[in-house]
Amino acid sequence: MDKPLMSDGPVTLAHVAQRAGVSQMTASRALNGRSGVSAKTRHEVVRIATQIGYRVNVAARKLSNGRSRIIAVLAPDLTNQFIGELLIGAGEAARKVDYEMLVYTLFDETRRSHDEVLRLLQQFADGLIAILPRGATDYVKALYAASMPIVILDHRGEVAALPTIASNHYEGASMAMRHLLELGHTRIGFLTGPDEPGASTERLTAYQHVLAQHGLRVDPHLISAGDYTQRGGFEAARRLLGLKKRPTAIFAVNDMAAFGALDAIKDAGLSVPNDVSLIGFDDIPMAAQTHPPLTTIRQPLVWMGRSAVNTLLAQINGIDVASPRVTLPTELVVRASTAALSATGRVPVGTRGASAGV
C-alpha cells in the first residue's frame, strides 16, 4: 500500500509518475482525462495521486492544454431564488459534460475592479456566464474587453454583441395584462423595476401596449416606481393604494415586488384577490407558497441556466453560436391571487385603503 509522500516540498506530478512507473506525460494524460492512456494505467495513476496527496494545479493544467473543465459564473448575489434557479440549471448542464462550476459573487468595487476579477477567473475557467447586476455599464465594458468565451444570462438590454440567454419579457407581460383584462379589470396598476434598458422596460412597454390595444388610456398615476425588491414593491404598491381611485388589480414587475405588494395590500386592510387582484413575474419557488398563492408569469429559469452552459460550451469548442440572442418562452401560471372583477367587490372612492392621491 502506498503511503503519503514525506517531502519538504509539495507533491508534484513527477512524484506521481515515479510511483506509478510511467512518464510524466502519461501521468498528466491520465489525471486530465485525455486519450492515449489505458483504463488500467489511468486507474493506477489516479489511485496513486490520491494516495500520496497530489492535487492538480488547475492554472498549470489550463496553461498546458488550454482546458480546465471549469465554467465560471459571475452573479450579483446568492440571496434570492431567481439567481438560485438559474444556477441550478447551469450546474445540471455542467455536470452532464463533466465540467465543474465556479460561482463568484459580485464584490466591493473598492477592493477589486471588474477587470481584475475577470482576469482572475480567466486563469481558472474555460468560459464565463455573467448574470448582470443593476447599473451594469462598467461591468459590460469589462466583459467586452475580456479575452474568454462569455454568455450573458438575463440581459439588461445593452449587450447585443455578446451571446445572450433571456426569456420573452414582452410576451410574458402581455399575457399577464390580457389575463387581468379578461377578468374584467381595466384600472390596473403597474409596479416597475429600475429605469434602465432590459426586462423592466420591456414589461412596462407591454403593459402600455396591451392597454392601448384594448382602447384604454395609460394613466401615469397607475405606474409606480420600484426596484425589484420586496421593500420596493411594498412602497410602490402603497402609493397606488393611496390613490382616491385605487386600482382593482396590480401587475408587479417581478415576484419579489409582488410579495411586497401583497404586504402593502394587507397592511391597508384589504385582501387579495377580494379587493385587489395581484400578479407577478418569474415564478420563483416562493410564489406558490404565499397566502394566497401568487398568479405569475413563469420564466424557464432552470432551462435558461442550462441553455447558457450549452451556448458557452459551443463557444469553448469553437462552434459558432447560431443566434447572438436565445429567447425562451414564458408561461402564465394562474393561482389564487387573481379573480374576476365581479368577485373583487370594487371599493368606492374614499373608502378603506384610500388616503391620498388623484
* pLDDT tens sequence across 256-309: 999 999 999 999 999 999 999 999 999 999 999 999 999 999 999 999 999 999
Quote the pLDDT of residue 230: 96
Contact status, residue 312 vs residue 151, Cβ threshold 8 Å: yes
Mean pLDDT value across residues 114-128: 84
pLDDT at 162 over 70: yes
pLDDT, the chain, mean: 85
Q: How many CB atoms lie within 10 A of CB 102?
A: 16
pLDDT at 63 over 50: no
In this prediction, residue 353 has a pLDDT band, given cuts at 50, 70 and 90, of very low
CATH number corresponding to 169-299+333-343: 3.40.50.2300
Quote the pLDDT of residue 57: 58
How far apart CA 108 and CA 106 sit, in angstroms, is 7
Mean pLDDT value across residues 183-209: 92
How far apart CA 234 and CA 259 sit, in angstroms, is 8
pLDDT at 245 over 90: yes
Quote the pLDDT of residue 134: 67
Residue 16 in grid coordinates:
506521481
In this prediction, residue 346 has a pLDDT band, given cuts at 50, 70 and 90, of low
Starting at the edge strand that comes first in sequence, how are the strands of the sheet with 164-167 ordered?
A: 100-105, 70-75, 127-131, 150-153, 164-167, 325-328
- Superfamily covering domain 13-56: lambda repressor-like DNA-binding domains (1.10.260.40)
What percent of the chain clears pLDDT 90, i.e. is strictly above it?
Answer: 55
Q: List the single range of 30-34, 49-53, 105-109, 203-207 with lowest mean pLDDT.
A: 105-109
CA distances from 216 to 135, 168, 181, 188 (A): 33, 24, 10, 10
Nearest Cα to Cα of residue 156 among 146, 143, 147: 143
Which span out of 9-23, 108-122, 135-149, 295-309 was modeled with the highest average pLDDT?
Answer: 295-309
pLDDT at 56 over 70: no
pLDDT at 5 over 60: no
Q: List the single range of 10-24, 147-161, 209-223 with lowest mean pLDDT.
A: 147-161
Contact status, residue 188 vs residue 200, Cβ threshold 8 Å: no
Quote the pLDDT of residue 76: 85
Which residue did the predictor score with more confidence, 165 or 2?
Answer: 165
In this prediction, residue 351 has a pLDDT band, given cuts at 50, 70 and 90, of very low
Please write down the long-range contacts of 313-320, taking CB distance under 8 Å and 24 or more positions apart: 313/97, 313/99, 313/127, 315/127, 315/149, 315/151, 315/163, 316/126, 316/127, 316/149
How far apart CA 55 and CA 292 sit, in angstroms, is 52
Q: List the single range of 40-49, 170-179, 211-220 with lowest mean pLDDT.
A: 40-49
Domain ranges of the chain: 13-56, 70-167+301-329, 169-299+333-343
Contact status, residue 152 vs residue 159, Cβ threshold 8 Å: yes
Which residue did the predictor score with more confidence, 160 or 275?
Answer: 275
pLDDT at 75 over 80: yes
In this prediction, residue 168 has a pLDDT band, given cuts at 50, 70 and 90, of very high
Q: Domain 70-167+301-329: which CATH class? A: alpha beta
How far apart CA 139 and CA 112 sit, in angstroms, is 12
Quote the pLDDT of residue 325: 85
Quote the pLDDT of residue 133: 74
Mean pLDDT value across residues 77-102: 93
Quote the pLDDT of residue 110: 56
pLDDT at 143 over 70: yes
Identical fold for domains 70-167+301-329 and 169-299+333-343, yes or no, is yes
Asked whether the bond before 273 is cis by omega within 30 degrees of 0, the reply is yes
